[in-house]
A and B are shown apart, each in its own frame.
Chain A
């Protein structure tokens, strides 16, 4: 069973078709990137997949995560799906994490509520997960404001890994980070993820670092898809070509041998 199946997904916001008929299959364990210019519909597609569409958005078509249909599903179904079947790493963990709760407890929460671990077992496992994403000992006791942006994104990643869902959606996880910090986080993402991944990004170097497949969105439709290496070296659609040319023009020409 694929981790994710989108069938003619349409999302209308304020009468405007932001996602306009997207078909996409993410097989179990596959890593897909979703790229496109601002306003192409990337984040709304990700939100639909994560069961987190804003109330103003109206979705039709089908979003199947595992064996659950999310379009038109009841709130209780969405709630059951989030964390269990699909989990999200948001762009800005400064607002995604609870500001007052020590991060160890935030990572432990899904372990207790989804997987039924005891408080003690969950705390131990949370410590392991925080260590696994490269955070120093004692991070569990810190609150989000005491950590750097890169450390907070690692906490968000640890919390997502704690859910152990079959599909992880990451919406621009490195957009708010310094280049060196972003590189380290992407390497961590690459090492830690064993589930299927949908990475929403406009950074083609992030795509290259983590994903095998890519779909290109333009005006709410997928205009091109395929293996990352093929699409980025031999883009067929003019939108893809524009994105690739822009990305190549912003990579330094001179660099150490």
Chain B
């Protein structure tokens, strides 16, 4: 079967200041990356800071042009100039999503915006859809006319999640899910994301360095290190028998809690 989202030979290099001002140097952020989001499966992109996760994500979302290789969405090549169905079918929750909301706009205005921009929503009652999504993420639709600062950090994350889901995407991309909230809130939000994904047959593409979140929500994993794919496969296999040093390091850094004796 054709993968839903597929990268082949992706490569991205950035110019960086060299040792001498007149000698330009470059840094390879993403090198020959192949990956596939297979139908009906969810994928986690894991790696340390600087491994190339965010650059790879920008390439996959056709926000940036690769220096080499290609990205295909449902079999069709996508580029920033011609993203095809990608903008319609992929919802995105950016990192620190709570602060990505327009502070001057009410929650209702922020949530209606995708419906006004994307095809297929002209005949739908936008306000009803906003209420439906706020309820789905566990917020009171009565609060839709408030502004972001009137909500807590965890609630703002829920609003950003509702905004990403409002146009009914088939794929949801989440960059560092809920890293800015405390663990109890994060656990709630991770559960909520899992429930929503199951309920609406939504495929997740998570970018994270939290292996617990990846393990809870995804089927497959791609481990990135120094811009390259160090290891890829079903999470159960990779986490149980990591072969690459990168995966072993990440798994070795997972903290431990005292074992509960039965």
Contact = CB atoms under 8 A, between A and B. Distances in A.
A229 B252 contact: no
A246 B191 CA distance: 10
B252 A183 contact: yes
Q: Most chain-B CB neighbours within 10 Å: which of A242, A243, A244, A247? A: A247
A178 B212 contact: no
A233 B259 contact: yes
A243 B248 CA distance: 27
B184 A37 contact: yes
B216 A249 contact: yes
A253 interface: yes
Given A178-B49, A246-B187, A257-B240, A252 B253 contact: no
Chain A, interface residues (CB within 8 Å), range: 35 or more
* Chain A interface SS verdict (over half): helix
A253 B257 CA distance: 12
* Chain B interface SS verdict (over half): helix
Nearest to B242: A256
A245 B209 CA distance: 20
A206 B255 contact: yes
A3 B213 CA distance: 38
Contacts of B253: 178-180, 182-183
B213 A247 contact: no
B255 A208 contact: yes
Interface of B: 48-49, 153, 181-188, 190-191, 209-216, 235-236, 239-242, 248-261
8 contacts: A178-B48, A183-B253, A204-B255, A250-B213, A254-B235, A254-B240, A255-B239, A256-B251
Given A234-B260, A243-B183, A254-B215, 19 more contacts: A37-B182, A37-B185, A179-B250, A180-B48, A183-B255, A204-B257, A209-B256, A228-B258, A232-B257, A233-B260, A246-B187, A249-B187, A249-B216, A251-B212, A251-B254, A251-B257, A252-B211, A254-B236, A256-B240
- Across chains A and B, which 10 residue pairs bring their CB atoms closest together, nearest first? A205-B255, A246-B187, A250-B212, A252-B215, A180-B253, A179-B253, A254-B239, A246-B184, A183-B253, A38-B182
